[in-house]
Amino acid sequence: MLALRLVVDTNVLVSAALKPDGLQQIVFLIAITKPARLYVSKPILDEYVDVLARPELGIRKGARMQLMQLVKNRSHLVTPRQRLQVTSDPDDNIFVECADSARADYLITGNRRHFPRFWKATKIVSPREFIELAAPHLLRH
């Protein structure tokens, strides 16, 4: 079975941390479990750390450290070769750059409106769209 190559936007990771029984948590668990592969870049790791530490989110330091250790242990680090300007929010370009370098199948974001529908072969989807495509059995009750 071929590995699904995934890039996960910070908003999905934060939602996974805040809602352990939500869709974003399922997306995160799929992303870090074989045969899927989570791809990150140094700018993405830095953003994950910065955003998870925001006091208004109230995520405990121990939980943040545990989550980031899981990300670092289970992800594949890529170094984007080129800077891109394709999103409506310039801060989101780091995710497209990572997806481009990783040749990702999916970029999963809660802010689809900031992104094009596709970048080359990467489909940009919401957490729900991703689960409907990758694991629809997890949506049925």
Return the pLDDT at 124: 96
pLDDT digits (tens, 9 = 90+) for 80-133: 988 888 888 889 999 999 999 999 999 999 998 888 888 888 999 999 999 998
Least confident segment among 14-18, 35-39, 95-99, 112-116 = 112-116
| Number of domains the chain contains | 1
Check whether the bond before 116 is cis (ω within 30° of 0).
no
Q: Could you list the residue range(s) of the whole structural domain that residue 23 is in?
A: 5-138
pTM over 0.75: yes
Return the pLDDT at 140: 60
pLDDT digits (tens, 9 = 90+) for 50-87: 999 999 999 999 999 999 999 999 999 999 988 888 88
User: What is the torsional sign of CA 23, 39, 102, 87?
Assistant: positive
**DSSP-derived secondary structure for 9-36:** -HHHHHHHHH-TTSHHHHHHHHHTSTT-
What DSSP state is assigned to residue 47?
H
Q: How far is CA 127 from the centre of its chain?
A: 9
CATH code of 46's domain: 3.40.50.1010
What DSSP state is assigned to residue 78?
-
